[in-house]
């Protein structure tokens, strides 16, 4: 493998942790098997690339244009393909974020390259890129060999650690012109209410509420606990299907995959489909009134009792301690 191209993402003009994880993983492979790491950033405004260089990027490309404020699949794909041509990359690494999951297969199709999404391990064996990903809601791990001139993978966020291999490295961004193409598809900005909230996929602490909350209004309890912990709010599918919370907060097989340091489950049973999205959490705390709820077989800490008593008491105690 000669060059790995990492597709970087920023939020509020800061490189996302999910991207730094991918750069670290790519740099690890490049260091042990020879090769270079190039990073492409698509952004609406200039962003400091020091963290990318520190994590091991040898080359930085930046496509900066106000039109890149909103993810546009066709425009972003065109820019990535330009970067592939510029760098001669033979492997493309994305983060398995909402954007990465959408963009990676589009780019792979354009390159006629194999694509493996949501990988939890990437290695080189005898010069061949091998990647592992959970299958069947995490019941088994599949190991795949990616053949071909070019390979595309996306890495699950929160699984790979961030390591600053070269803390004082300085690499300047090379500008990559944004094409002036017109596309039939129009991308619309994220609603204002979403802006500024910690995304459930990026948060170190996630507080998820389940059907046991009984109503959308009762989610105020979950929000207050999340605020007290500086975390994000998550939801089960039962909650999202009931219209109590938006789909962007859903965790699980058909929602987001998260790996926070701390994951609270409040009034949620712990179905296998939900587990598929949060099994990588470092510490799981469950609050449920049913001592036989499946989540108690897997949680690190379990509180058996009524959430309407436990959660307000917990939030009040946390607020008292931080006052
Ligand atoms: C193909 C497929 C994909 C799916 N994808 C997802 C997915 O991505 N994410 C997901 O979450 N689900 C997913 N599901 C749905 C999943 O199977 C479950 O139905 C869902 O996770 C259950 O949500 P829940 O835990 O909120 O509800 P329930 O299973 O109904 O659990 C509610 C829990 O609340 C507890 N409770 C009730 N009242 C209180 C109280 N006062 N105090 C404390 N505890 C209380 C109960 O004891 C119970 O354990 C999927 C299903 C399928 C078939």
**ipTM of the prediction:** 0.99
> What pLDDT, on a 0 to 100 scale, did the predictor assign at position 220?
97
- Nearest residue (CA) to ligand 1, atom 29: 269
pLDDT at 159: 86
- 208 is a domain residue: yes
d(CA 166, CA 154): 24
For ligand 1, say whether the CB of 307 is within 6 Å of any of its atoms. yes
Q: Are residues 96 and 203 in the same domain?
A: no
What pLDDT does 157 receive? 86
Q: Is residue 297 part of a domain?
A: yes
Do residue 19 and residue 82 come from a single domain? yes
Instruction: Flag the least confident range among 125-139, 165-179, 266-280, 309-323.
Output: 125-139
**Cα 297 to Cα 285: distance, rounded to the nearest angstrom:** 11
**269 within ligand 1 shell (Cβ under 6 A):** yes
Residues 6+ away with beta carbon under 8 Å from 193: none
Confidence of residue 197 (pLDDT cuts 50, 70, 90): low
pLDDT score, position 192: 57
Sign of the torsion formed by the C-alpha atoms of 239, 242, 248 and 253: positive
Residue 211: pLDDT band (50, 70, 90) is very high
* 250 CB near ligand 1 (under 6 Å): yes
Q: Which of 251, 253, 265, 293 to mutate to test the pocket of ligand 1 (most atoms within 8 A of CB)?
A: 253
In the reported structure, the alpha carbon of residue 227 is separated from the centroid of ligand 1 by a whole-number distance in angstroms of 23
Average pLDDT over residues 106-125: 96
pLDDT, mean over the chain: 93
Q: How confident is the model at residue 189 (pLDDT cuts 50, 70, 90)?
A: confident
Residue 166 sits in the same domain as residue 32? yes
Distance 284 CA to ligand 1 centre (A): 16
- Residue 287, domain extent: 192-322
Among residues 174, 211, 224, which one has the least CA distance to residue 293? 211
- Domain edge (last residue) among 142, 175, 208: 175
Domain count, the chain: 2
Mention every residue, 6+ apart, whose C-beta is less than 8 A from residue 313.
none
Pick from 175, 202, 222: which residue ends a domain? 175
**Looking at the structure, do residues 170 and 205 belong to the same domain, yes or no?**
no
Q: Is the pLDDT of residue 191 over 90?
A: no
Strand order in the sheet with 121-125: 121-125, 128-135, 140-146
Q: Is residue 183 part of a domain?
A: no
Evaluate: CB of 208 within 6 angstroms of ligand 1. no
Give 63-100 pLDDT, tens digit per residue.
Answer: 999 999 999 999 999 999 999 999 999 999 999 988 99
Domain boundary among 127, 147, 175: 175
């Amino acid at each position: 493998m000669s060059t790995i191209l990492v597709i970087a993402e920023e939020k509020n003009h800061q490189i996302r942790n999910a991207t730094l994880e991918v750069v670290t993983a790519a740099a690890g492979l490049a260091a042990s098997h020879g090769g270079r790491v190039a990073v492409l950033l698509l952004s609406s405004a200039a962003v400091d690339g020091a963290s990318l260089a520190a994590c091991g990027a040898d080359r930085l490309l930046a496509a900066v244009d106000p039109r890149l404020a909103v993810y546009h699949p066709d425009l972003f794909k065109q820019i990535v393909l330009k970067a592939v041509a510029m760098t001669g990359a033979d492997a493309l690494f994305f983060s398995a974020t909402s954007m990465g999951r959408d963009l990676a297969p589009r780019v792979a199709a354009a390159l006629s390259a194999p694509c493996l999404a949501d990988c939890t391990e990437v290695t080189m064996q005898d010069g061949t890129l091998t990647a592992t990903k959970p299958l069947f809601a995490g019941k088994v791990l599949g190991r795949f060999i990616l053949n071909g001139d070019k390979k595309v993978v996306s890495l699950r966020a929160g699984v790979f650690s961030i390591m600053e291999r070269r803390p004082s490295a300085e690499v300047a961004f090379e500008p990559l012109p944004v094409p002036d193409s017109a596309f039939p598809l129009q991308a619309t900005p994220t609603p204002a209410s979403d802006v500024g909230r910690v995304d459930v996929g990026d948060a170190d602490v996630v507080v998820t509420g389940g059907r046991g909350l009984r109503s959308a209004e009762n989610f105020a309890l979950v929000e207050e606990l999340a605020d007290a912990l500086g975390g994000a709010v998550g939801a089960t599918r039962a909650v999202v299907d009931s219209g109590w919370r938006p789909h962007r907060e859903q965790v699980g097989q058909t929602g987001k995959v998260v790996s926070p340091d701390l994951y609270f489950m409040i009034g949620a049973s712990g179905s296998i489909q939900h587990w598929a999205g949060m099994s990588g959490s470092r510490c799981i705390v469950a609050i449920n009134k049913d001592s036989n709820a499946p989540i108690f077989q897997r949680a690190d800490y379990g509180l058996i009792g009524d959430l309407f008593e436990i959660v307000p008491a917990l939030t009040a105690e946390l607020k008292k301690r931080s006052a």
